[in-house]
A and B are shown apart, each in its own frame.
Chain A
């Protein structure tokens, strides 16, 4: 999973880098100047196919969104004070949570990657746990923990304290968004930290700097680009999360743009919600692009040398207190809510005391055999599987085109493949909502599939690209000089070498898509309910037991699946 997030970071930066240079490059690729290859040598066929698919999957939805969003009917929506409030809430909660997440990510990264904290390997896995759980399931866990009848408030009552803790409202949204995005910040910052050569720190030491001076005068200044990347990444991700503001914000009438769009689409009062929705989508698109561009304007990554990472910083006397603090906060933030979710799933009704005798599989069995859940699981598996296959094949093709041979259309291809990942899920969903009637796939699962492919394509492209770029082109040239045609050499050598990475990317797509909520809930139609939507609807209907039972299964599958994938990918990377 770490590769996945880092890719996201890379995408954000890359997208920022390339956007300026490639504005308006969406026109058909000009004829490539060929060196050696004959016309129709296979590579150009591949390029044409890839470009047609990309125009359909990425170009069309964005074009439709921009076109619809600038119509006069659409612009009227900005006169609505509710939209202004939601926009402010979105930006404020995204900014606040991104700041918190970056701060937490930085502290954790420095402590766990560079200091002599004992048991840091276990801690590292634990602090990354919220990353493996979809945000809406995290929100459900905290609702279970801090609900009116939840364990915390019960305990407070037992102590005779009348104050009730509540997670609902704006602060709860900011807190939970931060909880679910700090692991991403951690991974980005830790990656930057690992690229700081140890001798830069040693040079400071030998010049007379102690631990805190090394941190303040060398590590932190060098970490700045990483902090910035982490901030932008979490900001964009949090700008359009649906699950957390819907579950935590709405009960307190804290509306964000995403939940507002959901309300427009779900309620039957607005006759035609599409213009308003397109305008909001365009607004978010502009916000996301501005954020990424702003990052681009700021000073770029300082050039670092290469070299082994420095020795662990000694924390001296604060080592043990810090370790205890880390453990306590990690357990409270990462584990306790999961336990609350589990106990809610395993107890027959809310408020039943938690004892061994009261635990039952009733909820899990009931939910797992209910028609709604089964069709949700089936839909999600089918959609996620389809998205994984499409992304793997298309992503592999794109990565091959990008790494093999220079071509004038490569920059544009790169941007269109990686840009969607820097976009809020809402933008993608609205884009597909707008083109669905044109393509005749309105209210079918194909809309969701298309949006999934657009959203997750970059996962495969990024996971294939790095290993492919490190494969020397001489391997392919060796095949050519042994008599293979360009296409044959590409298939026999390069594609073969890239296949494992593409497969890993595909598995990550599968695991991410199967629990997706933001896109699915905006595109859902009768009969195309996905797993995430099923859980969300159960929760909204008040069936907390059933919802948490299903959520627990998803959380467990996610933790196991993503941990295993990451472990496998790491092992392959180390071989």
Chain B
């Protein structure tokens, strides 16, 4: 149970590849933080840097205020007092379950009887009380994962690091372990850092999520913040599957390059109604700027092609053709070919068919001006 402070942390690999750069992150005591990003975004690199398997090439890392890595300081992984769960469990095949779980305490020199007691206690906690004498080869995937978890928490680590810890498991089991993991970390008040590429998992489990791309943090925020106020188009498209439309921002009004996209106009204000403008507000009278509108699949309604249109400025716009409709838990995940742009829409209430012609109506969009000038992820 501790805080983690990362200041300007960077890692450049020997081959010159930049793994991380300028990572600013404060993880609070008892917080569950998810590191989310596509593959190659640096989330695992960041976790391994915290663990101590990688040495940062710049910046510093402190656990509970004590510097672990930084100018002239280096604490090897075995002295950091952390617990870690690896993607493919990393259960030692030559030790039985109790041997695996008790290993950290054995190294710490805990007396035998006390060690056995604590092993039993932790195995109880993860639901493996009867498995102490089993060999790892006799365990199922989920049981191995629980052994790995028990081993990671037995020595009351300052923080629990989870590296794609649930990715190797099948879906129903994964969902169950997700809940157990959350309950366990709450109960123990553990600070946890969880690397995942699964958006639903990150949003569902974490108190806060840090979205990474190309070794840089794009945004840190609660799941709701990421969905409602993404700071840039990458976060919007990665987290909520938004379709991006480039365009121009003139006097606070967004004009898409795409012939069909019209963001509804508000009457009272200069702004588009239902549009969140993100970025520096324009000084009045300044020239137009390039911008990007992100349209989430849930912000689009589809009208049948023949239905009357009440909004004047939509008349004459191009129709969209349904190219695929996949049935999902929340509705049909539908892809449209809309005058060359591929628009993703979540359809509920009716069944879209391939080849259907529809007219998309965009209710809401996030507009990001000049990506370079967009607000950087706020490190809390």
Interface residues of A, Cβ cutoff 8 Å to B: 197, 199-200, 202-210, 213, 217-218, 221-222, 224, 302-307, 311
B residues 200-222 touching A (CB-CB < 8 Å): none
**In whole Å, how far is A172's beta carbon from the nearest beta carbon of chain B?**
38
Q: In the complex the two chains form, is B94's CB within 8 Å of A213's CB?
A: no
The reply to whether B88 and A209 contact each other, CB–CB distance below 8 Å, is no
B 13-41 to A, binary, CB cutoff 8 A, 1 in contact else 0: 00000000000000000000000000000
Q: Among residues 58 to 82 in chain B, which have CB atoms less than 8 Å away from a CB atom of chain A?
A: 76-82
Chain B residue nearest to A210 in the complex (CB): B78
Give chain A residues whose Cβ lies under 8 Å from the Cβ of B76.
205, 210
Whether B84 lies near A202 (C-beta < 8 A) is: yes
- Assuming A202-B86, A311-B53, what are 15 further A-B pairs, CB within 8 angstroms? A199-B86, A199-B88, A199-B90, A200-B92, A202-B53, A203-B151, A205-B53, A205-B78, A207-B107, A208-B107, A208-B108, A222-B94, A224-B94, A305-B89, A306-B88
The residue in chain A whose Cβ has the minimal distance to the Cβ of B168 is A305
Instruction: Map CB proximity to A onto B90-128 as digits: 1 under 8 Å, 0 otherwise.
Output: 101110000000011001100000000000000000000
A304 to B78 Cα, complex, angstroms: 23
User: Can you report 22 A-B residue pairs in the complex whose CB atoms are below 8 A from each other?
Assistant: A197-B90, A199-B86, A199-B87, A199-B88, A200-B90, A202-B51, A203-B84, A203-B90, A204-B103, A205-B53, A205-B77, A206-B78, A206-B83, A207-B104, A208-B79, A208-B81, A208-B104, A208-B108, A210-B78, A302-B93, A302-B137, A306-B88
Q: Determine whether B294 belongs to the interface, using a CB cutoff of 8 Å to chain A.
A: no
List residues of chain B with CB within 8 A of the CB of A222: 92-94
B interface bracket (residues with beta carbon within 8 Å of A): 20 to 34
Closest partner residue, chain A, to B83 (CB atom): A206
User: A199 to chain B: which residues have CB within 8 Å?
Assistant: 86-88, 90
Query: A208 and B155 in contact (CB under 8 A), knowing A202-B84, A303-B137?
Result: yes
CA A344 to CA B81, docked complex, whole Å: 61
Contact of B78 among A209, A218, A302, A311 (CB under 8 A): A209
Assembled-state Cα–Cα distance A213/B82 (Å)? 17
A206 touches B94 (CB 8 A): no
A209 x B107 contact (CB < 8 A): yes
Q: Chain B CB within 10 Å — which of A199, A217, A221, A307 has the most?
A: A199
The answer, among B83, B90, B94, for a CB contact under 8 Å with A202, is B90
Q: What's the minimum C-beta distance from B156 to chain A, rounded to whole angstroms?
A: 12
Which of A197, A207, A302, A303 is in CB contact (< 8 Å) with B151? A207
List, in ascending order, chain A residues with CB within 8 A of B88's CB: 197, 199, 305-307
Count of A-B contacts judged by CB separation below 8 Å:
77
Contact residues in B for A197 (Cβ distance below 8 Å):
88, 90
Residue of A202, A206, A210, A304 most packed against chain B (CB within 10 A): A206
Shortest CB distance A546–B (Å): 52
Interface centre among B84, B94, B161 (most CB of A within 10 A): B94
Cβ B84 vs Cβ A218 within 8 A = no
Residues of B within 8 Å of A208, CB to CB, are: 78-79, 81, 104, 107-108, 155
Question: Which chain B positions have C-beta within 8 A of A217?
Answer: 103
Closest to B161 in A: A206
A307 partner residues in chain B, CB cutoff 8 A: 88
Bound Cα distance from A302 to B88, whole angstroms? 16
| Residues B103 and A207 in contact, CB atoms below 8 Å apart | yes
Contact B93 A203 (CB under 8 A): no
Closest to A222 in B: B94
CA distance A208 to B328 in the complex (A): 45
Given A205-B53, A208-B108: A218 and B92 interface contact (C-beta under 8 Å):
yes
Q: Which residues on A sit within 8 Å (CB–CB) of B93?
A: 222, 302-304
Q: In the assembled complex, how far is the CB of residue B295 from the closest CB belonging to chain A, in whole angstroms?
A: 40
Decide yes or no: A203 and B94 within 8 Å by CB, A208-B107, A209-B78, A213-B107 being known contacts: no
Point out the residues of chain A lying under 8 angstroms from B79, CB to CB. Answer: 208
Measured in the bound complex, the distance between the Cα atoms of B30 and A511 in whole Å is 65
> Sorted from nearest, which 6 A-B pairs have the closest CB atoms?
A207-B104, A199-B90, A203-B90, A302-B93, A221-B94, A208-B107
Residues of B close to A213: CB separation below 8 A: 107
Does the CB pair B51–A206 fall under 8 Å?
A: yes
A213, B89: Cα distance in complex, Å: 20
Chain A: which residue is nearest B79 at the CB level?
A: A208
A216 to B: closest C-beta gap in Å: 11
Q: In whole angstroms, how far apart are the Cα atoms of A206 and B51 in the complex? A: 7
Q: Chain B's nearest CB lies how many Å from the CB of A316? A: 10
B90 and A207 contacting across the interface, CB-CB below 8 Å: no
| Cross-interface CB contact of A203 among B52, B92, B155, cutoff 8 Å | B92
Residues of A within 8 A of B86 (CB): 199, 202-203
Residues of the B chain whose Cβ atoms lie less than 8 Å from the Cβ of A204: 92, 103
Q: How far is the CB of A315 from chain B (nearest CB, A)?
A: 13
Residues of B near A311 (CB, < 8 A) are 53
* CB 8 Å contact bits of B130-152 with A (1 = contact, 0 = none): 00000001000000000010011
Contacts of A210 in B (CB 8 A): 76, 78
Question: Complex Cα distance A285/B262, Å?
Answer: 87
For the complex formed, measure the closest distance between the CB of A288 and the CB atoms of chain B, giving whole angstroms. Answer: 29
Which chain B residue lies CB-closest to A304?
B93
CA of A203 to CA of B151 in the docked complex: distance in angstroms? 9
Give the CA-CA distance A344 to B82 in the complex, in Å: 62
Establish whether residues A207 and B92, one from each chain, have CB atoms under 8 Å apart when the complex forms.
no
Shortest Cβ gap from B323 to chain A (Å) = 30
A304 to B91, CA, bound (A): 9
* Cα distance, A464 to B365, chains bound together (Å): 60
* Closest beta carbon of chain B to A121's beta carbon, Å: 16
Determine the chain A residues whose CB is within 8 A of the CB of B89 once the complex forms.
305
Nearest A-chain residue to B87, judged by Cβ = A199
> How far, in whole Å, are A398 and B93 apart by their CA atoms in the complex?
35
Of chain A, the residue at the smallest CB distance from B104 is: A207
* B104 / chain A contacts, CB cutoff of 8 Å: 207-208
Complex Cα spacing A50 to B67, Å: 69
Which of chain A's residues has its CB closest to B157's CB? A206
